[in-house]
Amino acid sequence: MSPFDGNDYRKRVLAAVHRRGGPDFSDAFELYDITLEEADRLTDVDAAAQVVEVWGFWQRQRDHPKYGSLVTLLVESHEERSAALLDGRRRRALVDRIRATRDERDAARYELLDGAIRRLVDRHRGLPRDKIDGLIEIGALGGLSAAEVQARLRHHRLVDPVAVTAPAAGAVVSAHRRRQVRDLLDEFGRLNEAPPPATLLSLLGLEIGAPEDEIAQRAESWRVRCRELPPLRIRAVADELLVHVRDLLESGPPMLDAYLDAVAEDVTERLRPRARAAVLVEDRLVADDYQHLCDEARALGLDDGRARAVLVSIAAEFGVVVETGPARPVSSLQPPHAPAGRAWEKPLRAARAALRRGALREARRLVEQARVVAGAGGTTPIRAVADEIAEALAQAELRWRAAATALAARRFAEAVEHLEYVCRTAVDVAGPVGLRSAEAELARAQGEVAEADRQVETVLAGPDPAAALLAILRSWPQHPSAVAALAGIPLRPPGAVSVTRDRTDVVVVSWQPSPTADVTYRVSRRGADGSWRVIGRTAASRMDDGGAPRGGAPQYAVAAVQAGRASEEVRSGDAHEAVPPQVAGPTRGAIRAPADVAAERASGGSVIVSWTGPAGAEFKVSRCAADGRWRVIGRTRGVSIEDGGVAGSGGTPVYAVSARLDGVTSAETYSS
């Protein structure tokens, strides 16, 4: 075998596996980049070496912006997928089975293309030259390259085109960036086990036409939430999405319009095969299909004008009329002559009608009926409709799961969005066990949303709207109107930040509390390279930083955080006006320091440290080393601790004990 090349593997193998929908649609030889010809003569040692190379490459790609989720799945299933390749007998037996499976898959890859070729040849007595690009696109739906499609077309006569479509104008947002945003949105949905946001506006929970200040406000709220996330893959994806939000949504209306035009290109690619399926059956885009596809385009993030323009453009590509009513075609192109009636067309039309009204199970039954009637004929349009129904069922299941999660968390506004989709597109698909029909759950969620909105309006006129809004958010988490109202109430920053070192050499960061009640504090430390790192969050007004570098005191920044929003940061060493005393909420008082601290040698050479102190407190115990430096040896809620890390001979060291209760730390008490 040739030496393993990671870049080549990523472009050839990972890209193909990602395009097919994941590792379950590829065999082990493909995943580990072993050809079937090599597999017959490969030794177990060579096979194991190749498996290790590929597995190691997967490990290194887990943070890849495009393939990170895919390789995570591959790493998790590595042992199961590679087992047959590591045993010579099992590997050779698997070769024959995989070769037969690939032959079947190749036949299926050409089925959609061959069906389209037959229709065009029957209609035009050859292949129109202006349809070649469309046939290449159809081949791509089956996983065929342009060269494979061209090889298939050589057996047919080419004829002159009927009409030529003008090329589309260039977009401001590049195709690369458009694809990058779409991939990130899809990955964000997968990581959350929910339907991916249709657009960056949908990610922020906004509609097209939202004012610029609201876009900026939502984006900032998301940035605050992202900073609170742990350093996992979902945070990296969210951070990258927010970069695109800044560049595409917050840069003004021209760039926002350019982004929406780019979304229209994505929607065109998504709807083209579905429109092609409708045209294959009806030889025109009938009014019902047109309206159904318009609704889907809007669900994919387009406004009404762009949705209609996309469908008219697709119909022009196919050379067919678009009917917006019983006798009102949008296009002036004449439809081609329809072929004689076929028995399978009636149940297939009924299946499409059921699909349009959201009766997916009925649509699936009618497609199976059409398949039985058609026998060997009509497979291309039947398969296209069947695939559309299968995708709709999968999307309905995903929406139901997301709705169930939102209902359980009392995020009713989010649940309404998913349930409205189910009611519109999958009315006969049942939800998870324990939930009623989509209509009943939608009515319940809408009632909760209305009640939350009513309470928001009521409390805004009250004496302490911030506290009341926080109470509403505890009952209805992330409710949009409560979040928006709270964002309009100033969040006061904490007061002056001071930094000291205690006798154990631990850095103690303290600050004056924010005048705003019910806040927590995010504390960050500045590194030697100038970058900032969050070291912790607390509801108290001080924090110990045991991970600070020795020598001197680093600079710290403290921000007040409340319900997904943050105040401006206050940094140590900066001059600030004194913060007025906090009126809301009781003031925490000092706690009693530990007493009677004693340190005694045990028979085995360790030291037993004991003390008395306030009940329920956590005690931090530190030891003074011979060079005068202090080291924390442990924390406990008891009143004694054994120090086994001290030298077995010599005198007994000095120990310091402090108590911490309800976020307040006492002074230290030392052993005699």
**Per-residue pLDDT reduced to its tens digit, 464-482:** 888 888 888 889 988 888 8
| Percentage of the residues of the chain whose pLDDT score is greater than 90 | 5
Distance CA 61, CA 54 (A): 11
Is 595-670 CATH 1.10.10.10? no
Say if residues 206 and 292 touch (Cβ distance below 8 Å): no
Report angle CA 89, 90, 96 to the nearest 5 degrees: 100
User: Which pLDDT score, from 0 to 100, does residue 168 have?
Assistant: 42
**Whole-number Å distance between alpha carbons of 644 and 7:** 52
pLDDT at 220: 83
**CB proximity list for 337: less than 8 A, separation 6 or greater:** 123
**At which residue do the structure tokens 């090889």 appear?**
151
- Encoding tokens for residue 641? 């601790």
Asked if 229 and 235 count as a contact pair (C-beta separation under 8 A), the reply is yes
Beta partners for residue 92, in sequence order: none
Angle at the Cα of 209 (from 204 to 210), degrees rounded to 5? 45
Q: What are the backbone dihedrals phi and psi of residue 307, each rounded to the nearest 5 degrees, phi first?
A: -60, -45
For residues 148 and 136, give the distance between their C-alpha atoms in angstroms, rounded to a whole number.
Answer: 9
φ, ψ for residue 283, nearest 5 deg: 65, 15
What average pLDDT does the segment 345-351 reach?
82
What is the CA angle 585-586-587, rounded to 5? 120
Q: How far is CA 144 from the centre of its chain?
A: 29
CA 114 distance to own-chain centroid: 37
- Cα separation, 423 vs 3, in Å, equals 54
Residues 451, 383 contacting (CB under 8 angstroms):
no
Does the pLDDT at position 627 exceed 80? no
pLDDT score for 214: 84
Looking at CATH, the fold of the domain delimited by 497-571 is given as Immunoglobulin-like (2.60.40)
Determine the pLDDT at residue 169. Answer: 45
**Mean pLDDT over the full length of the chain:** 80
Tens-place pLDDT, residues 152-164: 888 788 887 654 4
Q: Which among 243, 253, 248, 250 is positioned nearest to 216, based on CA atoms? A: 250
Q: What is the pLDDT of residue 102?
A: 74
Q: Label residue 620 by pLDDT band (50, 70, 90).
A: confident
Residue predicted with more confidence, 167 or 600: 600
What the block records as the tokens of 263 is 């979304």
> Which residue has tokens 């806040």?
519
Pairwise pLDDT comparison (600 vs 629), residue with the higher score: 600
Confidence band for 166, pLDDT divided at 50, 70 and 90: very low
Looking at residue 409, the DSSP 8-state letter turns out to be T
Q: Alpha helices, DSSP H only, in 426-500?
A: 438-459, 465-475, 480-487
**Helix, strand or coil, per DSSP, at residue 401:** helix
- Nearest Cα neighbor of 657 from 607, 609, 608 is 609
Q: Which residues are within 8 A (CB) of 529 and not within 5 positions of it... i.e. 6 or more apart?
A: none
pLDDT band at 212 (very low <50, low <70, confident <90, very high): confident
Q: CA-CA distance, 448 to 327, in Å (whole number)?
A: 44
Q: Is the pLDDT of residue 413 over 60?
A: yes
* Selection from 467, 524, 455 nearest residue 491 by Cα: 467
Query: Using an 8 Å Cβ cutoff, are 62 and 71 in contact?
Result: yes
CA pair distance 228, 245, nearest whole angstrom: 19
**In the predicted model, is pLDDT for residue 557 greater than 90?**
yes
What is the three-class DSSP state of 163? coil
Alpha helices in 284-343 (DSSP H): 287-299, 304-318
**Short-list 100, 89, 101, 80, CA closest to 39:** 89
d(CA 650, CA 61): 53
Res 442 pLDDT > 50: yes
Average pLDDT over residues 285-304: 82
Report pLDDT for 427.
Answer: 86
The residues that bridge with 640 in the sheet, in sequence order, are 610
For range 78-89, the mean pLDDT:
86
What is the amino acid identity at position 350? A
Averaged pLDDT, 374-401: 78
Tell me 329's DSSP state: B
536: Cα within 13 Å, side-chain hemisphere: 14
Identify the residue whose tokens are 């999958």.
426
Count other C-beta atoms under 10 Å from residue 648's C-beta: 9
For residue 257, pLDDT beyond 70: yes
Backbone torsion region of residue 540, taken as left when φ is above 0, otherwise alpha when ψ lies between -120 and 50, otherwise beta:
beta
Q: Which pair of structure tokens corresponds to residue 460?
A: 């805004």
If one counts every other C-beta atom within 10 angstroms of the C-beta of residue 313, the result is 15
